[in-house]
Chain A
């Protein structure tokens, strides 16, 4: 079968690999009908997230048709349409029992790798480096899904892939980030990053009752999409974010600030230069200008919700500001399984339309070009969906 293999920094190739098979009793195998490229994939593409090995199959946002189930799987059968959560969860551990699926104790087959890097074993994830278990991902014609009886969400017939594909990751991510803002009536929330994750967060915040959502990015085309969803916008290349947000909130600052950018945020000036040098040398793994800015901007007693991925160490965080303001920080990998039933019902009621952000649909064979496009954010590229089994239109 064809699969997107990681071969090194900014080098992904569509290659022939063996088809997956059932390995453990709770596995399922899915024929992938749609799979997306995520901002998280860019951290792997740029080789700033640790634990990649040449030949790893990428992809953690996918859906398709079940073709085989392991002997212990009773909830699914061949022919079912499913969306596959990016986080792999056993359903039986302390964390899964509390709905904290992304903290699952038992889904990482390679716990020593993440223990070395993070100090504890993190949960397994589809297609996301040896840190999260080195599972083969879903940017492929077929994918093996561990714990197929806990994760995959059955999709009723008649709903197109595009409407539900993002239940695999970015929609629950945006929803969780919004929930973490603990929105109260009248709240103003600033969202850094109008990429796919930011877009999902903006829609979720408005549904959860935020009075105003202010989207911050440097790309006008992405800000336009945010505006269409109901956000106010600010282009960060046109002025000081801090000054703007203070002004926009009557001098108080936003009640909550949501970082949908993460470890590869663009900064400016000397601090950015220093961050980039340190990241290259490996003494600082993540560049946190957005996090610094959010701490500076949030109102006293406000909340900072982090969705953008951080992998390791950040420098020069204004902790004194955060402390004196009494800021609450909430963050984490998305607990996909905890939200997907609710979100599916919101989609079916047409209250959420995640498909609005799809800018490019291409055959799987175009993955290499699509990664380049998404990285450069060229051609108004906001979200790429890859279609295995499809060929390019002439």
Chain B
């Protein structure tokens, strides 16, 4: 992993995951409702800023960097929802997409904001864990079109069904020590 990594800082606090789609598709989905310019490059970096916005920078082959900003405040896209719901603030970092040869998909590398590195190792690990889960869900959306779930399915638990994910149900599940 370390040898093949062109991204500095991955070792400190990052997560890499490969998605079976061209980089452009990944990026479009990531930016979902944003007005992204046409990216021709192979490496794209997006930095999330606060709760409502992305700053993005695309490294376009032979053309240096393009920079810009976009808001996700009004986005209804599921990817944004997935990202928001599982990442605790501060969730800033950079995103790098590297398209692999022979249709092997796109490496998605996310590096957390260096500020996080000052936090305890435990907090950093927790953030990485959250980030990894967010990315796994993002990949489900991208490749499968939906996020796998068992919420609301039949079961031998209370009411003959697993909780459907509403807030109070999750709360009661937590206090009952059940699965999330």
Q: What residues make up the interface of A, taking CB atoms closer than 8 Å to B?
A: 1, 3, 5-7, 13, 15-21, 23-26, 53-57, 72, 88, 90-94, 97, 105-113, 121, 124, 130, 133-136, 140, 142, 144, 146-147
What CA separation (Å) do A135 and B139 show in the bound complex? 20
Whether B133 and A111, one on each chain, are in contact in the complex, defined by CB atoms closer than 8 angstroms, is yes
Within residues 78 to 108 of chain B, which ones have a CB less than 8 A from any CB in chain A? 104-105
What CA separation (Å) do A91 and B160 show in the bound complex? 30
Which residues of the partner chain B approach A25 to less than 8 Å between Cβ atoms?
A: 145-146
Please tell me the number of chain B residues within 8 Å of chain A, measured between CB atoms. 30
Whether A17 and B139, one on each chain, are in contact in the complex, defined by CB atoms closer than 8 angstroms, is no
Whether B156 and A92, one on each chain, are in contact in the complex, defined by CB atoms closer than 8 angstroms, is no
Which residue in A5, A94, A144, A147 is a CB contact (below 8 Å) of B156?
A: A5
Whether A106 and B148, one on each chain, are in contact in the complex, defined by CB atoms closer than 8 angstroms, is yes
Whether B144 and A106, one on each chain, are in contact in the complex, defined by CB atoms closer than 8 angstroms, is yes
Whether B152 and A53, one on each chain, are in contact in the complex, defined by CB atoms closer than 8 angstroms, is no
Does more than half of chain B's interface fall in helix, strand or loop, or is it mixed? loop
What CA separation (Å) do A97 and B102 show in the bound complex? 13
Number of A-B pairs, beta carbon distance below 8 Å: 112
Closest to B159 in A: A18
What CA separation (Å) do A24 and B18 show in the bound complex? 24
Whether B160 and A18, one on each chain, are in contact in the complex, defined by CB atoms closer than 8 angstroms, is yes
Q: How far is the CB of A277 from chain B (nearest CB, A)?
A: 29
What CA separation (Å) do A1 and B159 show in the bound complex? 12
Whether B144 and A92, one on each chain, are in contact in the complex, defined by CB atoms closer than 8 angstroms, is yes
Which residues of the partner chain A approach B133 to less than 8 Å between Cβ atoms?
A: 111-112
Whether B154 and A1, one on each chain, are in contact in the complex, defined by CB atoms closer than 8 angstroms, is yes
Whether A136 and B155, one on each chain, are in contact in the complex, defined by CB atoms closer than 8 angstroms, is yes
Which residue in A17, A88, A97 is a CB contact (below 8 Å) of B161?
A: A17
Which residues of the partner chain A approach B151 to less than 8 Å between Cβ atoms?
A: 23
Whether A55 and B144, one on each chain, are in contact in the complex, defined by CB atoms closer than 8 angstroms, is no
Whether A15 and B153, one on each chain, are in contact in the complex, defined by CB atoms closer than 8 angstroms, is no
Whether A21 and B155, one on each chain, are in contact in the complex, defined by CB atoms closer than 8 angstroms, is no
Within residues 5 to 59 of chain B, which ones have a CB less than 8 A from any CB in chain A? 18, 20
Known: A17-B161, A92-B143, A105-B143. A136 touches B154 (CB 8 A): yes
Whether B20 and A57, one on each chain, are in contact in the complex, defined by CB atoms closer than 8 angstroms, is no
Which residues of the partner chain A approach B154 to less than 8 Å between Cβ atoms?
A: 1, 3, 17-20, 57, 136, 140, 142, 144
Which residues of the partner chain A approach B160 to less than 8 Å between Cβ atoms?
A: 16-18
Which residue in A1, A20, A92, A109 is a CB contact (below 8 Å) of B148?
A: A109
What CA separation (Å) do A146 and B150 show in the bound complex? 9
Closest to A51 in B: B179
Which residues of the partner chain A approach B179 to less than 8 Å between Cβ atoms?
A: 53, 110, 113, 130, 134
Q: How far is the CB of A116 from chain B (nearest CB, A)?
A: 10
Known: A5-B156, A18-B161, A54-B156. A94 touches B104 (CB 8 A): yes
Q: Is residue B72 within 8 Å, beta carbon to beta carbon, of the partner chain? A: no
Which residue in B18, B136, B153, B159 is a CB contact (below 8 Å) of A144?
A: B153
Whether B20 and A93, one on each chain, are in contact in the complex, defined by CB atoms closer than 8 angstroms, is yes
Whether A23 and B145, one on each chain, are in contact in the complex, defined by CB atoms closer than 8 angstroms, is no
Which residues of the partner chain B approach A1 to less than 8 Å between Cβ atoms?
A: 154
| Interface core residue of B104, B133, B148 (most chain A CB under 10 Å) | B148
Whether A24 and B148, one on each chain, are in contact in the complex, defined by CB atoms closer than 8 angstroms, is yes
Which residues of the partner chain A approach B136 to less than 8 Å between Cβ atoms?
A: 105, 111, 121
Report 23 cross-chain contacts, Cβ distance below 8 Å, ordered by A residue: A1-B154, A3-B154, A16-B160, A18-B159, A23-B152, A53-B178, A90-B143, A91-B144, A93-B20, A93-B139, A94-B18, A94-B104, A94-B105, A105-B20, A105-B140, A106-B140, A106-B143, A106-B144, A111-B136, A113-B179, A130-B179, A135-B153, A147-B144
What CA separation (Å) do A92 and B87 show in the bound complex? 26
What CA separation (Å) do A297 and B44 show in the bound complex? 54
Closest to A26 in B: B146
Q: How far is the CB of A313 from chain B (nearest CB, A)?
A: 23
What CA separation (Å) do A142 and B139 show in the bound complex? 30
Which residues of the partner chain B approach A23 to less than 8 Å between Cβ atoms?
A: 149, 151-153
